[in-house]
Amino acid sequence: MKKRKISLILIMLIFLLGAICAVQETQAAVIQKDQVSKLIWFGDSRTVFFGETVYGYKPRKGVYPQTILRRHVVARRTSMHGWANGTGYKELAKRLKKHPDAVVIFNFGVNDIGRGYDHKNSYRRLLHRIHKKFPQVQLYFMSVNPVSASSRNPYAKTSWKARQVNQKIATFNSYMKKHLPRGYGYINTYKKVKFRYRDGLHYTGQTYRNIARYVTGKKKLK
C-alpha cells in the first residue's frame, strides 16, 4: 500500500514538473511588455492581414501585390525568399537603423513551401545577415503556420494536399529552429494557437488577434 502511495506521489511530481516546464517554455516565447512598442513584423501576406487586423494599417494604394511598409510591419503579399532578401530586407534595414533596439519577428516561408520550393538555406543566410548587420536588434523566428484544404487555397484544395503541405511546413520549422543564429528566439505559434481560416491559407481576424495575444499578451497593438 505504501509503495502504491509513493508511486502515485512520484507520478504527481513528474506531472507537476512537466507542467512547470511547459509554462516556462511558453513564457520564454512571449515578448516582454516593454518590448511590444519596439516590434517589427517582417513577413508575407499573412503578415499583411495581421497588420490590417491588429494594427489597423492599410496596404499602400495602387501597389500590387498589397504591401505594408510601416513602423511595425514590413510585409508583402505573395512574397517569398527573393523579396525577403531584396526589397524587403532594404525596407527592414531602414527601420532598424532608426530603431536599433527593435524586436523583429520573422514570418516567411509558406509561399515558398506552397509552390514546392525549398529555400530554408536562403532564409537561414538572411537571418545571419540581419544578425551580423544589426547585432543589437532582438530577433525571433515565428513558426510557419498551417494551411487547410479549401477551393480558394492555391496550395491545398484537397485534404490530402493540405496534409502534404503541412508536413513540409513542419520539416521547415524543425530545420529553422535547429539552425537559428545564436541570439534568435523561436516562437512556436504552430502548436500554441488554434487556427481558423478565411480561405485555407489566410486566417480569420480572431486568429490574428490570438497570435498577437500569444506573442505579446495583447489583442491590439499600437
Query: For 64-121, what is each residue's pLDDT tens digit?
Result: 999 999 999 999 999 999 999 999 999 999 999 999 999 999 999 999 999 999 999 9
Strand order of the β-sheet with 103-107 is 67-69, 73-76, 39-43, 103-107, 138-142, 184-187
Q: Same structural domain for residues 189 and 206?
A: yes
Are residues 132 and 73 part of one domain?
yes
**What is the 8-class DSSP label of residue 181?**
P
Same domain? 90 vs 183: yes
Average pLDDT, the chain: 88
Judge if 19 and 116 occupy the same domain: no
Q: Which residues contact 35 (CB under 8 A, 6 or more apart)?
A: 103, 138
Does the residue 221 lie in any domain? no
Pair 11, 43 in one domain: no
41 and 24 in a single domain? The answer is no
Q: Is residue 157 part of a domain?
A: yes
- CATH value at residue 164: 3.40.50.1110
222 found inside a domain:
no
205 in the same domain as 175: yes
Q: How many CB atoms lie within 10 A of CB 171?
A: 13
Average pLDDT over residues 189-213: 96
Confidence of residue 134 (pLDDT cuts 50, 70, 90): very high
The model's pTM: 0.86
For residues 20 and 74, membership in a common domain is answered with no
pLDDT tens-place string over residues 20-79: 333 333 333 368 888 999 999 999 999 999 999 999 999 999 999 999 999 999 999 999
The confidence score (pLDDT) of residue 164 equals: 98
185 pLDDT exceeds 60?
Answer: yes
Q: Identify whether the C-beta of residue 73 lies closer than 8 Å to the C-beta of residue 47.
A: yes
C-alpha cell at 120: 530554408
By C-alpha distance, which of 71, 75, 127, 148 is closest to 102?
71
Q: Which domain holds residue 3?
A: 1-30
When divided into structural domains, the chain yields a total of 2
User: Quick one: cell of 62?
Assistant: 495602387
Do residues 81 and 122 share a domain?
Answer: yes
- Same domain for 76 and 17: no
Q: Residue 10 falls within a domain, yes or no?
A: yes
The answer to whether residues 20 and 38 belong to one domain is no
User: Would you state the pLDDT for residue 10?
Assistant: 44
CB 144 within 8 A of CB 113: yes
Alpha helices in the chain (DSSP H): 2-29, 45-50, 81-85, 87-98, 110-114, 120-133, 159-178, 189-192, 205-216
